[in-house]
Amino acid sequence: MKYLTALSGVQMKWFAVLAGVFCLATATGASAAQNAKPCAEDAAMLCQGMQPGGGRVAKCLKKHSSELSPACRDSMAKTKARARAKAKSFKRACGEDARKLCKDEKRGGGRIMKCLALHQEELSPACKEMLNQPIGKK
């Protein structure tokens, strides 16, 4: 709980975005695209009755990747590419800070983001800027 109180609104958004980035990369970009127009029909047809949440629809779409419409496949590929680019930008801006300030933190589960938030006064200017950017900005 102490970690959550250290996150500002913008940092919480970045925390959510970066957590999603890693899920998107492993789910071939499907989770962000599941409710988007290009994949909505595919999800309704291929994943009938599946309860949304927890990446279930994304996993279903990935499982049926050979049956997806070209528009959905294209949308998923673009989403995956954007997610990887954001993750790479974050690593470039905050990687050294994470190694220095969070070296004892176990990776995964948002622990590094929480650690960085707790050390926000010690972050490099590049990492601070990255964490304070609006989500849609590169």
Domain assignment present for residue 17? The answer is: yes
Domain assignment present for residue 76? The answer is: yes
CB 122 within 8 A of CB 11: no
Read off the pTM. 0.58
Comparing CA positions, the residue from 14, 10, 50 lying closest to residue 30 is 50
Local confidence pLDDT in tens for the 138 residues of the chain: 444 444 455 455 555 555 555 554 444 444 443 444 889 999 999 999 888 888 899 889 989 999 999 999 999 899 889 989 988 998 999 999 999 999 999 888 889 989 998 998 999 999 999 888 776 554
Domain assignment present for residue 49? The answer is: yes
Structural domain boundaries enclosing 107: 2-132
Q: d(Cα 20, Cα 54) in Å, to the nearest integer?
A: 11
Q: What is the pLDDT of residue 119?
A: 92
CB 7 within 8 A of CB 54: no
Q: d(Cα 111, Cα 117) in Å, to the nearest integer?
A: 10
Domain assignment present for residue 138? The answer is: no
Per the structure, the count of domains in the chain is: 1
